[in-house]
C-alpha cells in the first residue's frame, strides 16, 4: 500500500487528501461554502470520516479543549498554554512509557523533536542536496520542540501555509521517533549492539588483533564505461600503489580490512557494522507506510562484510556459527537470499531495488539478537558502490521517491519541487560522482 494512497496510515500529512493544509485558515465559518465542500469531500470516504473523528478527538484531548474555537484562546494566553503544555508532557510520558520528572520527560521529547529535524536534514544533505533551497525548513518551526506549541501553530493564520504544514509534519515525525524510542527501550537494542560488538571482538576476529585494528589495501578495478559494471578487481597493497596509473574505466578504492582465523589461515574481511540511527528508522517507517517499528524495522543491527572470494564467504559463515557456539549460543540463519554465484536476479521486493544486485543476505539469530548480514565479494561490493541502477546511492534516491516519501514530506504545492524531475537529476548527480 502506497504512502500516498487513500488508505495510507499517514493520511493526515497528505496534501491531496481531506487534511490538506490550505493557504488560509477559515475554521470559524461553520457553514461557509469552503466548509460545506470539505464536509462533502470527507463524506465520500468512510475511512477518512473515521480517521477525522479519531484525530479530532486526540487533538482536543491533548490540548484539553472542546472545540476548535477554544484553540484561539491558547494562542493568546501564555499562562494557559504553559499549563496545557505541562499536562501534555505528562500524557506523552505515560503513552511512551517514559520514567522521570517533568524535566526528564521534556528532555526526551526534545530528542524526538531533534530526530524529526534530523530526518529533514538527512534528506537535504544527501538525497536532495542540490535542491536544499527548495526544502529548507522554516526557522520558527525548527526551533520549536513543544508539541502543544506546534499543534497551535497548525491553527494559527498568522503563520504561512508552509510553516503550518511543517509544524504538522514535525508532530508526526516526533510521534514516530517516540514509538521507535519506546521499541528500543523494550528490546534493549543499545545493550544488544554493545553485546554484538563484544561477540565479534571476543570470538570472531583474529585473537592476535587489537580491538579496532585493520590493514589498509586498495582494490584496483576495471569497469564498463557505459554502466560502470565491474569486470575485474585485484587487491593491491599500499606500497605498490604508486606504480599504478588508473586508465579510463579503472578505479582505485581504499578499504580497511580486519581478519578472522580458521585453522592456520588468516582471512581478510572488510566490515561495516551499524546500528540504524533514529532518523533512518523514521524514514523506513514512512517508506513502509507503517507506524509500528516492531513490524517495519527488522534490521536494527547489521553487518556488511566484503571478502575476496565466494569460498571465503562460505568459510566466514561456518566461522560465525562456530564462534556463536564458543559464546554458548546456537546461531540460526533466517531469510537467506544469495545471488553471488551465478549473478542470478536478486528478486528484492523493496521499492527501488534492482534485480541486477548481487549479494548474500541473511539474518542471524544468536545470543538473544537478530542481526542482518549483507555479504559481498570485492566485485559485487564495487558494483554496489558504483554500477548504474545498482549503486546504493541510486537505490536510496529511487526508494525515497518511488515510495512516495519525498512527495509526502515535500508536496509540490508548498515546496515547488518537481518530484519526477528531481528524481532523474539526482540519479544523474550520483552517477557523475562515480
What's the chain's Rg over C-alpha atoms?
25
User: For residue 371, which phi and psi values (nearest 5 degrees)?
Assistant: -115, 135
CA 326, distance to chain mean position in Å, is 34
Pairing outcome for strands 250-262 and 215-223: antiparallel
> What is the reported pTM?
0.91
Q: What is the pLDDT of residue 346?
A: 45
Q: Which three cell numbers stand for residue 395?
A: 537505490
What integer pLDDT is reported at residue 22 of this predicted model? 87
Residue 97 is classified by DSSP as T
CA geometry: angle 182, 187, 191, nearest 5 deg: 110
In 78-188, which ranges are continuous DSSP H helix? Answer: 78-95, 102-122, 132-135, 139-142, 147-153, 161-187
Q: Estimate to the nearest angstrom the gap between the alpha carbon of 157 and the chain centroid.
A: 33
Query: Dihedral angle at the C-alpha atoms of 383, 388, 389, 395, nearest 10 degrees?
Result: 70
- Residue-by-residue pLDDT tens, the chain, 434 positions: 578 887 788 988 998 877 889 888 765 555 667 677 777 777 777 777 888 888 889 999 999 999 888 999 999 999 999 999 999 999 999 999 999 999 999 999 999 999 999 999 999 999 999 999 999 999 999 999 999 999 999 999 999 999 999 999 999 999 999 999 999 999 888 899 999 999 999 999 999 989 989 999 999 999 999 999 999 999 999 999 988 999 999 999 999 999 999 999 999 999 998 888 999 999 999 999 999 998 877 777 899 999 999 999 999 999 999 999 999 999 999 999 998 865 544 445 566 567 788 999 999 998 888 899 999 999 999 999 999 999 999 999 999 999 999 999 999 999 999 999 999 999 999 999 88
Extents of the domains making up the chain? 11-187, 189-403
Q: What is the pLDDT of residue 366?
A: 87
Q: How far apart are CA 281 and CA 43, in angstroms?
A: 34
- pLDDT at position 27 is 58
Cell, residue 348: 528484492
Q: How far is CA 81 from CA 148, 156, 172, 336, 393, in A?
A: 8, 14, 21, 53, 44
What's the 3-state SS for 351-396?
CCCCCCCCCEEEEEEECCEEEEEEEEEHHHHHHHHHCCCCCHHHHH
**Four-CA torsion 35, 155, 54, 105, nearest 10 degrees:** 180
Q: Of all helices (H) and strands (E), which one includes residue 219?
A: strand 215-223
Closest to 209 (Cα-Cα) out of 274, 272, 273, 256: 256
Separation CA 385–CA 391 (nearest Å): 5
**CB-based contact 252:242 (threshold 8 Å):** no
Helix or strand run (H / E) with residue 248: none
If you count DSSP H runs as helices and E runs as strands, how many of each does the chain have, helices first?
Answer: 18, 8
Residue 348, SS3 per DSSP = coil
Amino acid at each position: 500500500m502506497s504512502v500516498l494512497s487513500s488508505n495510507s496510515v499517514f493520511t493526515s500529512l497528505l496534501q491531496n487528501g481531506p487534511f490538506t493544509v490550505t493557504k488560509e485558515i477559515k475554521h470559524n465559518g461553520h457553514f461557509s461554502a469552503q466548509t460545506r465542500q470539505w464536509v462533502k469531500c470527507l463524506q465520500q470516504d468512510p475511512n477518512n470520516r473515521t480517521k477525522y473523528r479519531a484525530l479530532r478527538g486526540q487533538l482536543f484531548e491533548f490540548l484539553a479543549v472542546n472545540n476548535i474555537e477554544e484553540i484561539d484562546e491558547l494562542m493568546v494566553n501564555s499562562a494557559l498554554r504553559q499549563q496545557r503544555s505541562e499536562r501534555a508532557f505528562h500524557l506523552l510520558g505515560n503513552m511512551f512509557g517514559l520514567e522521570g520528572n517533568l524535566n526528564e520527560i521534556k528532555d526526551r521529547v526534545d530528542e524526538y523533536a531533534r530526530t524529526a529535524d534530523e530526518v529533514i536534514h538527512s534528506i537535504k544533505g544527501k538525497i536532495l542536496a542540490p535542491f536544499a533551497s527548495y526544502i529548507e525548513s522554516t526557522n520558527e518551526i525548527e526551533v520549536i520542540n513543544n508539541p502543544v506549541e506546534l499543534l497551535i501553530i497548525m491553527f494559527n493564520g498568522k503563520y504561512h501555509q508552509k510553516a503550518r504544514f511543517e509544524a504538522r509534519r514535525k508532530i508526526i515525525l516526533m510521534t514516530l521517533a517516540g514509538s521507535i524510542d519506546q521499541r528500543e527501550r523494550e528490546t534493549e537494542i543499545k545493550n544488544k549492539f554493545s553485546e554484538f560488538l563484544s561477540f565479534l571482538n571476543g570470538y570472531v576476529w583474529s585473537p592476535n588483533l587489537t580491538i579496532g585494528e585493520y590493514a589498509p589495501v586498495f582494490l584496483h578495478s576495471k569497469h564498463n564505461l557505459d554502466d560502470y559494471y565491474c569486470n575485474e578487481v585485484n587487491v593491491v597493497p599500499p606500497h605498490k600503489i604508486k606504480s599504478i596509473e588508473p586508465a579510463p574505466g579503472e578505479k582505485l578504492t581504499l578499504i580497511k580490512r580486519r581478519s578472522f582465523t580458521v585453522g592456520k589461515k588468516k582471512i581478510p574481511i572488510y566490515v561495516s557494522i551499524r546500528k540504524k540511527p533514529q532518523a533512518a528508522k523514521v524514514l523506513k517507517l514512512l517508506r513502509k507506510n507503517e507506524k509500528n517499528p516492531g513490524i517495519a524495522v527488522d534490521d536494527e543491527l547489521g553487518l556488511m562484510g566484503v571478502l575476496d572470494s565466494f569460498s571465503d564467504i562460505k568459510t566466514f559463515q561456518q566461522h560465525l556459527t562456530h564462534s556463536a557456539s564458543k559464546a554458548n549460543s546456537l546461531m540460526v540463519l533466517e531469510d537467506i537470499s544469495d545471488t553471488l554465484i551465478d549473478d542470478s536476479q536478486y528478486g528484492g521486493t523493496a521499492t527501488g531495488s534492482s534485480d541486477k544486485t548481487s549479494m548474500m543476505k541473511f539474518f542471524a539469530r544468536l545470543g538473544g539478537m537478530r542481526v542482518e548480514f549483507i555479504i559481498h565479494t570485492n566485485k559485487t561490493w564495487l558494483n554496489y558502490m558504483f554500477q548504474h541502477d545498482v549503486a546504493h546511492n541510486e537505490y536510496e534516491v529511487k526508494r525515497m521517491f518511488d515510495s512516495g516519501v519525498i512527495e509526502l514530506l515535500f508536496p509540490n504545492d508548498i515546496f515547488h519541487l518537481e518530484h519526477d524531475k528531481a528524481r532523474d537529476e539526482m540519479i544523474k548527480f550520483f552517477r557523475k560522482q562515480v
